[in-house]
Amino acid sequence: MKLRHLAFQLHRYLGLAAGLVLIIVGLTGSLLVFEEETNHFLLEVQFGKIIPQQQQVSILSVIDNVKAAYPEPSLSISFLELPQEPDKPIHIELQSPNKPTLEVIVNPYTGKILGDRLSEYAIMAIIYNLHYSLLAGDTGVAIAGIVALLLFILCITGIILWPGWRKLITGFKIKWNGHIKRTNFDIHKVAGIITAVFLGLTAITGFCWNFYTYTDPVIYAVTFSPKPIEPESKPIPGKSPLALANLLQRADAVLPGAATTYISFPTSPEAVFMLGKRFPEEKEVWRSRVYLDQYTGEVLRVRNSRSLSVGDEVMDVFTPLHYGTFGGLPTRILYIFVGLAPTILFVTSFIMWRYRYRPKSLISNHARHVNLKA
């Protein structure tokens, strides 16, 4: 009884305190379930469709075209993403000091530049930033992370309080023809128990991501895995970075049979070239990576998806658990409704809270009226 009382108090007040932020995070999360497909559709509307052809142009020629089209000295290529579907474009990000990132869209078959846009002002980018940081920078990241932890506690306490532990059928029954107070409670308990596990998974993974610098060492420690050291290039006075063709060749030799999916270009003297690689059996494009010294081409670190540590595997499973991709299309559709759950749960909990305190207020008003008469 003491445990249930504590769980009830935590569940009630944490839900009311974090409810509004959870609604924002939940609704934006539902929109992000199909982020890639939505973004692709919006790109087609803005820049036109890409007709698949036999052969794609080389990465080097694409980069030469972009540099020629954007010759401003302040602009530098920071990222290049290669398409993983036949009808998708190449994305290239150009950075300039104190200016928003410019995203250039390129046809992978002709090398033609289809257009550009400020990436952080794209619709899906705004939704993502609202979800991740509440559009409030580092402060928003911390707030969203704390609220994610509160959501995890709400899921645990909700599971404890679920009436179905006493009688299973009661826990899933909604009395639609009952008093609004009863129907409201039934909707809350059923929506809560159906989504609790999935909300808990999104909550704990979101918390770990938002407080990455603190949770990352803990995950590697508890899994008894060596924490990867962030590699750095060693600047050589008077020496320029190696040619991209050389770096691509070295990366291919490290992970033969894996295709290049993206390139992260160094944006400071100590930064490294990072090339994303993908083996034929991989569904994700980011699990395998090669890190190279930008001046010597030395291989500083290799992340091979075929031989990851337990800690790396745990970190990698966060993405499918958070976005609902672990079960394919069915779980992605389910996660749309999981994202809607915080809104339903907050509204129903607020109604319960109002009903709980309404009698007290009525009694208080009645007593005040009697005293005035006296």
In a domain, 297, yes or no: yes
In a domain, 229, yes or no: no
Which one, of 5, 7, 1, 3, lies nearest residue 196 by Cα? 7
Query: Within 13 Å of residue 294, how many CA atoms lie on the same side as its CB?
Result: 22
For residue 298, is pLDDT > 60? Answer: yes
For residue 1, is pLDDT > 90? Answer: no
Query: Do 215 and 253 form a contact (C-beta atoms < 8 A)?
Result: no
Query: For residue 98, what pLDDT is reported?
Result: 86
For residue 307, is pLDDT > 80? Answer: yes
**Tens digit of each residue's pLDDT (9 = 90 or more) over 55-100:** 999 999 999 999 999 999 899 999 999 999 999 999 999 999 889 9
Query: Residue 247 contacts by C-beta under 8 Å, 6 or more apart in sequence?
Result: 273, 275, 292, 294, 297
For residue 334, is pLDDT > 90? Answer: yes
Rounded to an integer, the average pLDDT of 89-117 is 95
Query: Residue 107 contacts by C-beta under 8 Å, 6 or more apart in sequence?
Result: 50, 89, 90, 113, 114
The full DSSP string for 88-99 is --EEEEEE-TTS
For residue 212, is pLDDT > 70? Answer: yes
> In b/e form, how buried is each residue of 143-169, taking b as 16+ CB within 10 angstroms?
bbbebbbbbbbbbbbbbebbeeeeeee
In a domain, 239, yes or no: no
**Tens digit of each residue's pLDDT (9 = 90 or more) over 217-276:** 999 999 999 999 999 999 999 899 999 999 999 999 999 999 999 999 999 999 999 999
Q: Are residues 120 and 211 in the same domain?
A: yes
Q: Are residues 264 and 142 in the same domain?
A: no
Query: For residue 358, what pLDDT is reported?
Result: 62
In a domain, 96, yes or no: yes
In a domain, 213, yes or no: yes
Q: Are residues 204 and 339 in the same domain?
A: yes
Q: Are residues 66 and 166 in the same domain?
A: yes
Q: Are residues 280 and 138 in the same domain?
A: no
Counted domains in the chain = 2
Q: Are residues 209 and 272 in the same domain?
A: no
In a domain, 34, yes or no: yes
Structure tokens at 97: 């000091």
In a domain, 232, yes or no: no
* Lowest mean pLDDT, pick from 36-45, 188-197, 329-338, 349-358: 349-358
Q: Are residues 248 and 218 in the same domain?
A: no
**Tens digit of each residue's pLDDT (9 = 90 or more) over 339-373:** 999 999 999 998 888 777 665 544 444 434 434 34
In a domain, 320, yes or no: no
**Tens digit of each residue's pLDDT (9 = 90 or more) over 152-182:** 999 999 999 999 998 898 899 999 998 899 9
Query: For residue 352, what pLDDT is reported?
Result: 87
- Binning pLDDT at 50, 70 and 90, where does residue 284 land? confident
Domain that holds residue 53: 2-222+325-353
What percent of the chain is predicted at pLDDT more than 70? Answer: 95
Query: For residue 280, what pLDDT is reported?
Result: 92
Query: Do 210 and 217 form a contact (C-beta atoms < 8 A)?
Result: no
- Binning pLDDT at 50, 70 and 90, where does residue 283 land? confident
Can you tell me which residue has the tokens 């009226």?
Answer: 369
Distance CA 25, CA 14 (A): 16
> In b/e form, how buried is each residue of 321-338, taking b as 16+ CB within 10 angstroms?
bbbbbeeeeebbebbeeb
Q: Are residues 301 and 330 in the same domain?
A: no
Query: Dmax over Cα atoms in the chain, in whole Å?
Result: 95
**Amino acid letter, 20:** L
Query: For residue 355, what pLDDT is reported?
Result: 75
Q: Are residues 259 and 205 in the same domain?
A: no
Distance CA 184, CA 358 (A): 15
What percent of the chain is predicted at pLDDT more than 90? Answer: 84
DSSP state of 242: P
Q: Are residues 210 and 248 in the same domain?
A: no
pTM, two decimals, is 0.88
Which one, of 16, 31, 19, lies nearest residue 129 by Cα? 31
Q: Are residues 205 and 283 in the same domain?
A: no
Angle between helices 123-133 and 137-161 (to 10 degrees): 70
Q: Are residues 279 and 214 in the same domain?
A: no
